[in-house]
Amino acid sequence: MSASADVSVSEFSKDRPFPARLTENRMLNKPGSAKETRHFVVDLRGSGLRCKAGDSLGVFPTNRPEEVAELLQRLGATGDEPVAPAALKLAAPIALRVALTERLALAKPTRKFLETLAAKVTTGAEKEKLAALLAPEAKEALPAFLEEREFVDLLAEFPSARFTAAEFAEYLRKLMPRLYSIASSGTVYPEDVHLTVAVVRYATNGRERVGVCSTFLADRAQPGATPVPVFVSDSHFGPPEDRSKDCIMVGPGTGIAPFRAFMQERVATGATGRNWLFFGDQKRSTDFLYEEEWLDYQAKGQLARLDTAFSRDQAAKVYVQDRMREHGKELWAWLQGGAYFFVCGDAKRMAKDVDAALHQIAAEQGGLTPEQAADYVKQLKKDKRYQRDVY
């Protein structure tokens, strides 16, 4: 189905999300894992939304009630105060509690907010601390200070500053939806969407922090009860239209999500091209996401190759790019035969390392100079045979 046909099917979109419901929330990591990765099933029945392998689901989260309650307490507000912050472009004001819960982001305070605090505080100690933070010589220290704090921290650290509800709301950004790669095929699951989500929990400045959307799904969205506002985000990332083409998929961690959709789709549509998966995580015993499914595909001959890299299972850490190099000769043969190469996951390190490995394999196995290898990889991208979904 074309993207234009997809859009016309449903009245729901980013501007008008569908109030879906969770029907499943289960832990994928086994006991003893250092990670919390969850499998969610989102019920789309009645939405008219359609998705294809490679698409993402946008989810609008809410903030934690306890964070909102503390902010209100620090502001000396009831939560009923009407606000209409410019960031939200509202036709009419809404209650402060609603804005803080559903519409505004409570993290990432700015220098501008600190400057306002400096103008408002009334105690000498607070004035001195803010003056030091805003001084030119604190240029490098200031971002680190702000990185460890949310708005509630600053209200707690500089309690003499007073804000009206409307004034404070102007400093907050809009709470944005999060996009998650869909981990299921619309052909196999037309009424559901599966997600593979790393739940974010950590501590800074002596406070427990969370990923707003990952914990909304994990903790606050009660299966079958809480509305989960969603929309489908169309993507140009997807398996080859020519089903006879081979697929090489590199998806460590939650990067596995779209490849689960790819496999379901290719099996369901009778694709004759071979499939090769590179998957990596910390420990095989606890972090092999969807292990039973992959081994089943392999046993049935639907997954031609499965290469895993579990970094903590041996003294020297091993990653997916290392496995690629180990099997460089065969990987090159697949590419020479017209295979498509897909990468999903961490953009900062993994995707760069995988890209470097691909260039190295092209040079070594193809007998190319570094410049020729770079040109080869560029051509793969131009032909849409090298696709990335990185974040």
Interval 180-216: pLDDT, tens: 999 999 999 999 999 999 999 999 999 999 999 999 9
Q: Does the pLDDT value for residue 7 go beyond 90?
A: no
- Give residue 78's region: left, alpha or beta (phi > 0; psi -120 to 50): alpha
Cβ proximity of 199 and 38 under 8 Å: yes
65-169 and 247-390 agree in CATH topology: no
| pLDDT (mean) for 1-21 | 71
| pLDDT (mean) for 277-288 | 98
Q: Is 75 helix (H, G, I), strand (E, B) or coil?
A: helix
Q: Does the pLDDT value for residue 3 go beyond 50?
A: no
What values do phi and psi take at 83, rounded to 5? Answer: -135, 150
CA dist 323 to 234, 246, 297, Å? 31, 18, 20
Q: What percent of the chain has pLDDT over 90?
A: 97
Total Cβ atoms within 10 A of residue 130: 22
Cβ proximity of 71 and 151 under 8 Å: yes
Give dist(CA 364, CA 368) in Å, integer.
7
Q: How confident is the model at residue 9 (pLDDT cuts 50, 70, 90)?
A: low
What values do phi and psi take at 14, rounded to 5? Answer: -60, -40
Q: Does the pLDDT value for residue 175 go beyond 90?
A: yes
Unique residue bearing structure tokens 């109030």: 19
Q: Tell me what the pLDDT averaged over the chain comes to.
A: 96
Q: Is 245 helix (H, G, I), strand (E, B) or coil?
A: coil
Structural domain 3-61+177-233, CATH architecture: Beta Barrel (2.40)
pLDDT confidence of residue 49: 95
pLDDT confidence of residue 10: 77
- Give residue 21's region: left, alpha or beta (phi > 0; psi -120 to 50): beta
Q: What percent of the chain has pLDDT over 70?
A: 98
Overall pTM surpassing 0.85 (yes/no):
yes
Structural domain 65-169, CATH architecture: Up-down Bundle (1.20)
Unique residue bearing structure tokens 């680190």: 144
| pLDDT (mean) for 5-28 | 84
Give dist(CA 380, CA 355) in Å, integer.
12
Q: How confident is the model at residue 129 (pLDDT cuts 50, 70, 90)?
A: very high
| pLDDT (mean) for 339-349 | 96
| pLDDT (mean) for 272-287 | 98
pLDDT confidence of residue 16: 95
Give dist(CA 2, CA 20) in Å, integer.
23
- Largest Cα separation within the chain, whole Å, is 74
CATH of domain 247-390: 3.40.50.80
Q: Does the pLDDT value for residue 2 go beyond 90?
A: no
Sequence ranges of the domains in the chain: 3-61+177-233, 65-169, 247-390
Q: What are the tens digits of pLDDT across the range 63-114?
A: 999 999 999 999 999 999 999 999 999 999 999 999 999 999 999 999 999 9
| pLDDT (mean) for 259-280 | 98
Q: Is 11 helix (H, G, I), strand (E, B) or coil?
A: coil
Unique residue bearing structure tokens 């993402």: 56
Q: What are the tens digits of pLDDT across the range 367-391?
A: 999 999 999 999 999 999 999 999 9
pLDDT confidence of residue 8: 40
| pLDDT (mean) for 327-342 | 98
Q: Is 307 helix (H, G, I), strand (E, B) or coil?
A: strand
CA dist 162 to 126, 156, 348, Å? 13, 12, 40
Cβ neighbors of 143 (< 8 A, separation 6 or more) are none
Copy the structure tokens of residue 144.
Answer: 């680190």
Cβ proximity of 29 and 38 under 8 Å: no
